């Protein structure tokens, strides 16, 4: 039995791939958008269970409204996961990051209205919460806290600015249009990789394993990609889910994280020293847990991540 028809933008990425896998396993028919469906880097999607019968891919660009609308037609819901992520320095961040994130989100939401989609889940980021210099010092940052866009730009945090503007727009659009929109703000996303290329957060963990002389003893705030996929589906399926949700499983200092990794994998070249830094403001995801979200142990996330990096040849 078909459970429903949903669209996932950015279906071939790290998060998008796990979400597609989960949705297919739950009986959904999935419309996945890809920039170039014939690209071999998306071949892993066709190896997923039930992909042959229940996955339909669409060539779509977030800035091309008609291509997005075509992918959305016939769907009950949409998971807007796609967003430009900087791989290195960006010469024109307004044009290369902010414009596609904001205009792309608007195109998806307008397409939802036109295609009569009932519910849209928008993937935002902790970057839309954490950059707020006016937030009372020591007060836990939760869903009520918004990053200051101008402060993000002034400090060169263009990705955070793009996610903040796009999420603000999504919730404003929901209020004006009546479209059911829920946003999720994940923290650093780790976990096993389904695609053949590595994403930025996986590279951060590999860097820790390959060793650098000294690292700052900052808090690593982590969520497993599989638990994030479950959170996205949870807020889609729960009618009472409203507004925004921060998605965080574990908070661990770099020195403690390295200690865990060393006990599991003693032979890697770990950092030799840790520079103490001022502790960051605390963040909490109680709101998501109150509607039934649970997450796996950190050790499982680390073990499964490293196993997949080894299988792909990124680690010995």
Q: Which of 246, 247, 236 is nearest to 112 (CA)?
A: 236
Measured CA distances, 268 to 211, 218, 271, 303 (Å)? 8, 20, 10, 14
Choosing from 21, 130, 163, 287, which is the catalytic residue?
A: 163
Q: How far apart are CA 57 and CA 11, in angstroms?
A: 8
What is the chain's length? 316
Tokens representing 99 are: 């414009």
Q: Which of 127, 190, 131 is nearest to 162 (CA)?
A: 127
120 φ, ψ to 5°?
A: -125, 130
Q: How far apart are CA 205 and CA 62, in angstroms?
A: 30
Q: How far is CA 35 from the centre of its chain?
A: 18
- Residue bearing tokens 């990124």: 314
Whether 163 is a known active-site residue: answer: yes
Give the HSE-up count for residue 254: Cα atoms under 13 Å, Cβ half-sphere. 22
Buried b (16+ CB within 10 A) or exposed e, 57-82: bbebbbeebebbbbbbeebbbbbbbb
Active-site positions?
A: 163
């Amino acid at each position: 039995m078909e459970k429903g028809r949903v669209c996932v933008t950015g279906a071939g990425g790290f998060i998008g791939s796990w979400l597609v896998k989960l949705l297919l396993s739950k009986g959904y028919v999935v419309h996945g958008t890809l920039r170039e469906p014939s690209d071999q880097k998306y071949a892993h999607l066709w190896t997923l269970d039930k992909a042959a019968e229940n996955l339909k891919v669409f060539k779509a660009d977030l800035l091309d409204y008609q291509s997005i609308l075509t992918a959305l037609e016939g769907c009950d819901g949409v998971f807007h996961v796609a967003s430009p992520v900087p791989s290195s320095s960006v010469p024109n961040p307004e044009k290369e990051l902010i414009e596609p994130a904001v205009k792309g989100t608007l195109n998806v939401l307008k397409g939802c209205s036109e295609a009569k989609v009932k519910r849209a889940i928008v993937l935002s980021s902790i970057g839309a919460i954490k950059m707020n210099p006016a937030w009372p010092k020591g007060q836990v940052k939760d869903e009520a806290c918004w990053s200051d866009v101008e402060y993000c730009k002034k400090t060169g945090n263009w990705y955070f600015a793009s996610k903040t503007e796009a999420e603000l727009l999504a919730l404003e659009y929901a209020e004006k249009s009546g479209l059911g929109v829920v946003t999720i703000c994940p923290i650093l996303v780790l976990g096993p990789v389904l695609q053949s290329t590595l994403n930025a957060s996986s590279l951060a963990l590999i860097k820790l394993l390959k060793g650098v002389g000294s690292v700052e003893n900052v808090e690593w705030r982590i969520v497993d990609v599989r638990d994030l996929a479950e959170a996205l589906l949870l807020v889609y399926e729960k009618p009472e889910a409203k507004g925004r949700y921060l998605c965080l499983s574990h908070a661990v200092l770099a020195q403690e994280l390295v200690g865990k990794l060393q006990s599991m994998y003693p032979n890697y070249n770990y950092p030799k020293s840790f520079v103490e830094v001022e502790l960051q403001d605390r963040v909490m995801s109680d709101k998501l847990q109150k509607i039934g979200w649970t997450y796996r142990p950190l050790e499982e996330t680390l073990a499964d991540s490293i196993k997949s990096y080894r299988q792909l040849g990124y680690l010995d």
